[in-house]
Structure 1
Amino acid sequence: MKIAVLGAGHVGPVVARLALAAGHTMTIAGSGDPARIAMITEFLAPGAVPLTAADAVADADLVVLAIPWHRFPSLEPAMFAGKVVVDAMNHWPPAEAPLGTSEDVARRLTGAHVVKTLNHIAYQDMEPAAGRAVGVAGPADAVAVVAEFLRGLGFDPVPVGPLTAGRHLEPGSPLFGVAARRDDFENLSPLAKESE
């Protein structure tokens, strides 16, 4: 698959390394000129090609959003139309916020197929991925694509339901910040057992 990672901070390069090791073609984009992240990319994710966000997304089969939440509104929504988009971002909204983070993402990226995953596990716990359970929330067809991608990286994807269930992977959830195997993950998330 052709994978585009938007975000060259902590999570983005880890996902890029894992995807490269799994044989995927990788592009990575930061918040400006690709030349600014070329050295970082060469060091942290050798083999990934730094591009602008628009160029990275244009040819991608799957896009991973791993940027700071406050940068998300600067992205052009139209470029994501028809794409499977992994929302690995985190936001700390008020407890009474009507929507989860990924629901906000999906509402803005009209026409994209948004899946929530990888946000609830710390980047330093992603490698090695082998057997690490990760919750996946979103529309069934897109979840199937993302789950296959995650399995290829070594993760054990655990569907937790539709995108609204992504709230259970966000800050404040018992799952947030936990690096667990499937059994422990399911014990922390009744939704994981319900969606089997």
Structure 2
Amino acid sequence: MREALLTSVLVATAATAVALVLGILAALVIARYRFFGRESISLLVVLPIALPGIVTGIALNNVFTSYLGGLTFLTLVVAHGTFCIVVIYNNALARLRRLGGNVEEASSDLGAGGWTTFRLVTFPLMKSAIIAGGLLAFGLSFDEIIVTTFTAGPGITTLPIWIYQNLFRPNQAPIVNVVAAALILVSIVPIYVAQRFSSDTNRGGGIL
């Protein structure tokens, strides 16, 4: 059980990190640039979470086994990242659209480069939305079971998979009940904290 818990934490942390980078970049591109295929890219980003989990899991399994040589810990992280990116992307995109481009344009007019503007202006204004999205992404990854079933390598067991495997073993029932309750709590906490971030930002005049 401890190994399964550690695996879940590592996968959720890694998937959230990947989703943060890609989600923020995708949101910046979609919000700040106009180009052919822009809406198609946006659709591709949100598609994994819009599809049923079993469809996403089977599709990713086919890709990983056909082109990457099999299932590993890395394939599990990538699989979780594909749907974790959605919540971060949506949060970041909503914040960028709310902010508009006036502040960034003013920064550029004052001589700041693109990276300096992002680091000192854009990112601080997006920070609460990004944190909220990251917390939601972590919770989403931590309790995922369907996609995990199709993309985890041999011998890799996350906590939800461990619970499912031991669910019908009478001697494990007390432990499973406690672990399941803890899993529910761990899944709720990020949602609660993210909601608090949203409420605090809204009181301050922002939007999640």
| TM-score for both structures, normalised by structure 1 | 0.22
Q: Larger C-alpha radius of gyration, 1 or 2? A: 2
More strand by share: 1
